[in-house]
Amino acid sequence: MQKFKVTPWNVEGDVDYNKLIKEFGVSKIDKNLLDRIKKHTGNIHLFLKRGVFIAHRDLDVVLDKYEKGEKFFLYTGRGPSGHTHLGHLIPWIFAKWIQDNFKVDLYFQLTDDEKFLFKENLTLKQANDFAYENALDVIALGFDPKKTFIFTNTQYAKTLYSLALEVAKKLNFSTTRAVFGFDNQTNVGQIFYTCMQTVPCFLPSVICRKNIYCLIPHGIDQDPHFRISRDVLPKLNYYKPASIQNIFFPGLLKGGKMSASNKNSAIYTTDKPDEIESKIKNAFSGGKETLKEHKLYGGNPDIDIAYQYLKFFFEPDDKKLQKIYNNYKSGKILTTELKQICIEKVKAFLFEHQKKRQEAKKKINEFILND
Ligand code: TYM
Average pLDDT over residues 272-291: 95
Distances (CA, A) of 303 to 216, 314, 336: 30, 16, 15
Q: What is the dotted CATH code of the domain comprising 271-359?
A: 1.10.240.10
Q: Tell me the CA–centroid distance for residue 148 and ligand 1, in Å.
A: 18
Q: Tell me the CA–centroid distance for residue 165 and ligand 1, in Å.
A: 23
Pocket of ligand 1 contains residue 91 by CB under 6 Å: yes
Per-residue model confidence (pLDDT) at position 261: 78
Let me know: does 305 contact 252? Beta carbons within 8 Å: yes
Q: Tell me the CA–centroid distance for residue 39 and ligand 1, in Å.
A: 28
pLDDT band, residue 61 (cuts 50/70/90): very high
232: Cβ contacts below 8 Å, ≥ 6 apart: 167, 170, 171, 198
113 secondary structure, DSSP code: H
Per-residue model confidence (pLDDT) at position 89: 98
Average pLDDT over residues 271-286: 96
Q: Tell me the CA–centroid distance for residue 130 and ligand 1, in Å.
A: 14
Average pLDDT over residues 4-32: 95
> CATH number for the 5-252 domain, one of 3.40.50.880, 3.30.465.10, 3.40.50.620, 3.40.50.1460?
3.40.50.620
Domain ranges of the chain: 5-252, 271-359
Neighbouring CB atoms inside 10 A of 209's CB total: 6
The residue contributing the CA closest to ligand 1 atom 26 is 77
Per-residue model confidence (pLDDT) at position 256: 86
Tell me: pLDDT of 109 over 80. yes
Pocket of ligand 1 contains residue 137 by CB under 6 Å: no
Pocket of ligand 1 contains residue 82 by CB under 6 Å: no
Average pLDDT over residues 316-332: 97
Average pLDDT over residues 325-349: 97
Neighbouring CB atoms inside 10 A of 113's CB total: 23
pLDDT band, residue 1 (cuts 50/70/90): low
Q: Which of 6-10, 92-96, 225-229 has the lowest mean pLDDT?
A: 6-10
pLDDT band, residue 218 (cuts 50/70/90): very high
The DSSP code sequence of 57-112 is ESHHHHHHHHHTT--EEEEEEE--SSS-BHHHHHHHHHHHHHHHHHT--EEEEE-H
Pocket of ligand 1 contains residue 250 by CB under 6 Å: no
Q: Tell me the CA–centroid distance for residue 205 and ligand 1, in Å.
A: 23
Average pLDDT over residues 179-184: 95
Testing ligand 1's pocket by substitution, the residue of 218, 262, 269 carrying the most ligand atoms inside 8 A of its CB is 218
Tell me: pLDDT of 86 over 60. yes
> For the chain, first and last CA: distance in Å?
51
75: Cβ contacts below 8 Å, ≥ 6 apart: 106, 107, 108, 109, 200, 201, 214, 215, 216, 241
Write the pLDDT tens digit of every residue in 139-177.
999 999 999 999 999 999 999 999 999 999 999 999 999
Judged on CB neighbours under 10 Å (0-12, 13-18, 19+), 264 is exposed
Tell me: pLDDT of 68 over 80. yes
Pocket of ligand 1 contains residue 248 by CB under 6 Å: yes
Report pTM: 0.98
Q: Tell me the CA–centroid distance for residue 354 and ligand 1, in Å.
A: 21
Pocket of ligand 1 contains residue 288 by CB under 6 Å: no
Pocket of ligand 1 contains residue 87 by CB under 6 Å: yes
Tell me: pLDDT of 328 over 90. yes
pLDDT > 90: percent of the chain: 95
Distance from C-alpha of 192 to C-alpha of 195, rounded to nearest angstrom: 6
The DSSP code sequence of 215-270 is EEEEEGGGHHHHHHHHHHGGGGT-PPPEEEEE-PPB-SSSSSB--TT-GGG--BTT
CA 34 to chain centre: 20
Pocket of ligand 1 contains residue 197 by CB under 6 Å: yes
Tell me: pLDDT of 54 over 70. yes
Mean pLDDT of the chain: 96
Per-residue model confidence (pLDDT) at position 2: 59
Distance from C-alpha of 366 to C-alpha of 371, rounded to nearest angstrom: 15
Let me know: does 148 contact 77? Beta carbons within 8 Å: no
